[in-house]
Amino acid sequence: MQLNKYIDHTLLKPTATPADIETLCKEAKEYNFAAVCVHPCYLELAKDFLKNTVVKTAVVIGFPLGAMTTDAKVLEAKDAIKKGADEIDMVINIGMLKAGEVAYVTREIEAIKKAIGDKVLKVILETCFLSDDETQIAAKAALNAKADFIKTSTGFGTGGATFRDVKLMKEIAGEQMKIKASGGIKDRETAMQYIDLGVSRLGTSSGINLINRDKE
């Protein structure tokens, strides 16, 4: 198994500089990670650093709170695709989901998926704020909206990925959607446990540590 191909090499800190993004991309090229995950303002920079490689560029949308209007998220997603993004990681409207406004959440995901066409859409549920039932309701909304992935966390909530949440998500996703675990994945043992549970991507800023440990 090639652990590196599971990793979205991620840098979403508000203090990230262009030099930090260059380092991120150099590392992604060196280790041949699946993708880098960056803020939209750094997309074109990342694309330039990653040209002539197979490393994908993933961009976060409606990040990290998910409380923007649907129109704003759609515009942000369209802009990212226009500028060359391969994948979109969007945050759901958490408050609407918790209020039982599942149709709103579903329509928003549908709108973004329609806007980006055949590009990959990952839907961030932010499970730390959801009950078990809400996690599965959110996962069903993403499934009904034809999302490609459901994702656990932004890394900016009160908690990150958990094995329990991934198991709940897998019950809904089955083989129809992929799962990305993110937030707090810092060691190889944890990463392997998530992969054993059926995760297809790992969002982490500790990818190099995971790979180097893999080689020990």
Q: Among this protein's residues, is 79 annotated catalytic?
A: no
Separation of alpha carbons 201 and 180, rounded Å: 5
Q: Among this protein's residues, is 146 annotated catalytic?
A: no
The SS3 of residue 120 is: strand
Burial pattern 7-35, b for ≥16 Cβ within 10 A else e, equals bbbbbbeeebeeeebeebbebbbebebbb
Record the tokens describing residue 86, joined without a space: 């391969």
Q: Among this protein's residues, is 89 annotated catalytic?
A: yes
| Contact criterion met (CB below 8 Å) for 203 and 182 | yes
The residue annotated as part of the active site, out of 8, 73, 151, 165, is: 151
Q: What are phi and psi of 162, to 5 degrees?
A: -135, 155
The residue annotated as part of the active site, out of 8, 56, 73, 89, is: 89
| Contact criterion met (CB below 8 Å) for 143 and 109 | no
Task: Write out the catalytic residue numbers.
Answer: 89, 151, 180
